[in-house]
Structure 1
Amino acid sequence: MEQFVDPIREELEGFAVDDVVELFTVDASRIGGAQYLFAPTSVQASDGSYVAPTFGGNTYMVIPFESEGWDFAAGGTLPQPTIRFMMAREDGDSLTIASYLLSLLSSLDDMLGAKVLRIQTLRKFLDDGAEPNPQAHMGIEVYTVARKSNQTPDFVEFQLQSALDMEDVFLPRRQVLNYCQWAYRRALSDGTFDYSDATCPYVGSSYFDANGDVVADPKLDRCGRRLADCKLRFGENAKLPYGGFPGAGKLRTG
């Protein structure tokens, strides 16, 4: 019987490795959205032009973003990667990308809870590559969006949580995640708040941004969904309505 040879492993063990291509799928179907396919860079076609990568019949929209923190630590700590979407494209078209990202953030509660799939493959295995093969990749890494960690006119930053971090563990009607799951109030343009979809009970007049910094403008009021953010609003020693499980991320299977 012919022995199966893993093409990606064979390629990586060789002397000359083709360009590595990163592909991302953001699955927001669980929070009322759809699936969004992104790649941080385009790839060079045979005619010398640069095109969006296509893999397994799926085309990945090229949106400039940076990412870090994917590596597993030697001590067993699961990665909590950061993805930073740049609001301006390399070709100078900032309006399209900014409006698209901001519309998703507004309609999908900062993408909290969306699933993020990361695939790494080689240029030659893409659909227009020298050896097209949708099965040739380095495995599918699965994460969830834990929180929007920062937003400026130049970028939007998200912190991810590994799906191995108890993602599919449930208590009755509650998913075990180490960030708050309550919906925070939504600031309106006139400085008031919309509480129609809010499940967080905070109605105070002290405002903080997603990093926990004090802000004067109520339109900048955002909850970072950490236990520390809850303490800022309700008090260090108060009984907190925190909607997460702070110890969940500390549990590991041996």
Structure 2
Amino acid sequence: MMTETLEQAVQSPSVGDRVHLFTLDAVAQGAPEIYRFSPTSDRGQPILFNGLDYTPMDIMAEGFEWNGRGALPTPKITVQNVTRAMSALVQQAGDLRGATLTRIRTFRQFLDNGDSPSPDAFFGPDIFTVERKSSLNKFFVEFELSAKLDQEGKILPARQILRNRCRFRYRRFVDGDWDYTGATCPYAGTLYFDKAGNPVSIESDSCGKKLADCALRFGSEPLPFSGFPGVARVR
């Protein structure tokens, strides 16, 4: 029997049940794991898609639609809280602010136990960030979301483009030994220079953050320089 594709399903007069699958990643905010849930169930049991379990949960989601007027969507999602599991997670993970919510959409026939299982048959992913918890009670929790490109205070590009300035953090010599806490520069050699590029003793080693300083330490290309020396060629 020929396997139905996503394109065929969309054009079919009997398209089947649409399934919305949500993934919440709040590990960076303190959650113990990544959560997957869906308003759809398999006779009350979790549904399986691409080998992953999605826990059935009452969910109301609105405002996910994109439009052609330039405005990015600012959805709201309301999740059940009858068991208090969601409010406990909110308390544990700082109201989930900054957590990533991902939505994909598929059809029931493409689930792992469907008539045409296909892990690649889905729309999305639609990726959003939790902006704030807008409501919480014993019945539900509501969150306001923003598109990943529409973050408060964000600019594009996300970092300033500097021609001859490295943004890596250099190691420090403390109490007779090197301290690499917070260091992002990979240099761990035994050539020591001051900020002007003059050879010095180990305790006076300090990087001037220029491309020439990188070349003094690493000697040859490619250099792990985080600046953009090529930007000078663009007019």
TM-score of the pair, normalised by structure 1? 0.56
Distance 1:29 1:6 in 2: 36
The root-mean-square deviation of aligned C-alpha atoms, in Å, is 2.1
Q: How does 1:12-27 map to 2 (within 5 A)?
A: 12-27=10-25
**SS of equivalent to 1:103:** helix
Of 31, 46, 55, which aligns to 2:49?
55
Of 8, 11, 14, which aligns to 1:10?
8
Is the 2:105–2:123 contact (alpha carbons within 8 Å) kept by the matching residues of 1? yes
Q: Identity of paired residues, percent?
A: 34
Structure 1 unmatched runs, 5+: 44-48, 89-96, 173-254
Shift in Å, 1:29: 2.2
Is the 2:80–2:86 contact (alpha carbons within 8 Å) kept by the matching residues of 1? no
Shift in Å, 1:15: 1.8
Of 71, 74, 98, which aligns to 2:68?
74
Q: How does 1:107-122 map to 2 (within 5 A)?
A: 107-122=92-107
Is the 2:102–2:128 contact (alpha carbons within 8 Å) kept by the matching residues of 1? yes
Structure 2 unmatched runs, 5+: 161-235
Shift in Å, 1:78: 0.8
* CA-to-aligned-CA distance 1:11-57 (integer Å, 9 cap, x gap): 101221010000000011222322111112313xxxxx443211000
Distance 2:30 2:45 in 1: 30
Give 1:146's aligned residue.
Answer: 131
* Structure having the higher Rg: 2
Give 1:86's aligned residue.
Answer: 80
Q: How does 1:25-64 map to 2 (within 5 A)?
A: 25-33=23-31, 34-43=33-42, 49-64=43-58
Is the 2:38–2:54 contact (alpha carbons within 8 Å) kept by the matching residues of 1? yes
Is the 1:52–1:59 contact (alpha carbons within 8 Å) kept by the matching residues of 2? yes
Of 125, 128, 132, which aligns to 2:110?
125
Is the 1:125–1:136 contact (alpha carbons within 8 Å) kept by the matching residues of 2? yes
Distance 2:16 2:89 in 1: 34
Is the 2:101–2:130 contact (alpha carbons within 8 Å) kept by the matching residues of 1? yes
Is the 2:44–2:56 contact (alpha carbons within 8 Å) kept by the matching residues of 1? no
Q: How many equivalent residue pairs?
A: 154
Q: How does 1:171-210 map to 2 (within 5 A)?
A: none
* CA-to-aligned-CA distance 1:76-127 (integer Å, 9 cap, x gap): 2111110111223xxxxxxxx31x1122111110000000110100000000
**SS of equivalent to 1:60:** strand
Is the 1:6–1:136 contact (alpha carbons within 8 Å) kept by the matching residues of 2? no
TM-score of the pair, normalised by structure 2? 0.61
Shift in Å, 1:168: 8.7
**SS of equivalent to 2:7:** helix
Call closer, same or farther: CA 1:66–1:168 in 2, change over 3 Å. Answer: farther
* CA-to-aligned-CA distance 1:203-245 (integer Å, 9 cap, x gap): xxxxxxxxxxxxxxxxxxxxxxxxxxxxxxxxxxxxxxxxxxx
Shift in Å, 1:171: 5.3
Q: Residue type matched to 1:130 in 2?
A: D
Q: Residue type matched to 1:145 in 2?
A: V
Shift in Å, 1:63: 1.5
Shift in Å, 1:164: 2.7
Distance 1:81 1:168 in 2: 21
